[in-house]
Amino acid sequence: MNIGILSSSFGVKTLHELTLAMSQYGFRTTQVNLKWIRDIDSSPGKLSTGLANHVAEAFELHGIRIPSLGCYTNLIHPDVEERNRGIRRIKEHIRFSRDFGSSSVATETGTLNIENQFEGHAGNQSEDNWNLLTDIVSELLEEAEKWGVHLALEGFTKNVIDTTERMQRMLEKYPTSNLGIVMDPCNFIDEANMDQQESVMDDAFERLGEHILLAHAKDFLIYEGKMVQPAAGTGLLNYPHYLEHLLRSKPHVHIYLEHVHEDQMLQALGIVSNHIKGINADQQ
């Protein structure tokens, strides 16, 4: 299992600054979010094979691969113009994904919250919004199948797909090999089920394990009465339980550190790496 990092964890940097910083921490794989690269214009209509090759070559100079692109947008944004802009952006990422060396494009599933795509809304789980989301996923899958790329959906408690059951429902609606998931158990854990986190993870891997394309590593805890998601190893997630499942389901999957600042990277990397080494040692 290769431990990488989300490129956005380094903040807004030039391509040179980003690749240099990432290599200095020893990362050899990354999920790239182009919007965070200062000197790369990834707005709709700007991507090309040449731009993708330019980015990929900059990472390759430091021995870093890009197996996945992150293009997180609000798929059900109430503003139709804004929603369509996001869909167009994802399609463009899919079209040029292979030119980056990437086989998947990842996104969450959206919310009716017009101010913050990472906050919930009372209407997110309505059947109308489910139907809207399935239509959009169908449109994105048509593009993914055309270009031989995987669409990686990521669930989140504050989005339309907020549970493992709803993610399974989407996978069953579109039983294509071009649709998969980002495994991140913290995104299925909230205040109501945090005391049963192991059961949540058991259920997630039973329902979704074979569909994992990549995984994220962060944590969860309650801070000032609110659920927050800090760096891996700084919260309450049972990492041995998570990683045992992940190693059993997808032994060589890439797992990416998330929600981690630069001064936390080495610690988070060490924590996840040591858990993996311990599990592998126990299984020998």
Gyration radius (Cα) of the chain, Å:
18
What residues does each domain of the chain span? 2-283
Whole-structure pTM value = 0.96
pLDDT of residue 47: 98
**Do 73 and 44 touch, CB atoms closer than 8 A?**
no
Token readout for 55 is 């980015």
In order along its 284 residues, the chain shows pLDDT tens digits of 899 999 999 999 999 999 999 999 999 999 999 999 999 999 999 999 999 999 999 999 999 999 999 999 999 999 999 999 999 999 999 999 999 999 999 999 999 998 888 889 999 999 999 999 999 999 999 999 999 999 999 999 999 999 999 999 999 999 999 999 999 999 999 999 999 999 999 999 999 999 999 999 999 999 999 999 999 999 999 999 999 999 999 999 999 999 999 999 999 999 999 999 999 988 87
CATH code for the structural domain at 2-283: 3.20.20.150
19-30 tens-digit pLDDT? 999 999 999 999
Question: CB-based contacts of 41: which residues, under 8 Å, 6+ apart?
Answer: none
- CA-CA distances (angstroms) from residue 172 to 20, 126, 164, 201, 221? 42, 19, 12, 20, 32
116-134 tens-digit pLDDT? 888 899 999 999 999 999 9
**Do 5 and 256 touch, CB atoms closer than 8 A?**
yes
pLDDT of residue 119: 87
pLDDT of residue 79: 96
**Do 64 and 15 touch, CB atoms closer than 8 A?**
no
pLDDT of residue 51: 98
Q: What is the 3-state secondary structure (H, E, C) of the chain?
A: CEEEEEHHHHCCECHHHHHHHHHHCCCCEEEECHHHECCCCCCCCCCCHHHHHHHHHHHHCCCCEEEEEECCCCCCCCCHHHHHHHHHHHHHHHHHHHHHCCCEEEEECCCCCCCCCCCCCCCCCCHHHHHHHHHHHHHHHHHHHHHCCEEEEECCCCCCCCCHHHHHHHHHHCCCCCEEEEECHHHHCCCCCHHHHHHHHHHHHHHHHHHEEEEEEECCEEECCEEECCECCCCCCCHHHHHHHHHHHCCCCEEEECCCCHHHHHHHHHHHHHHHHHHHHHHC
pLDDT of residue 197: 98
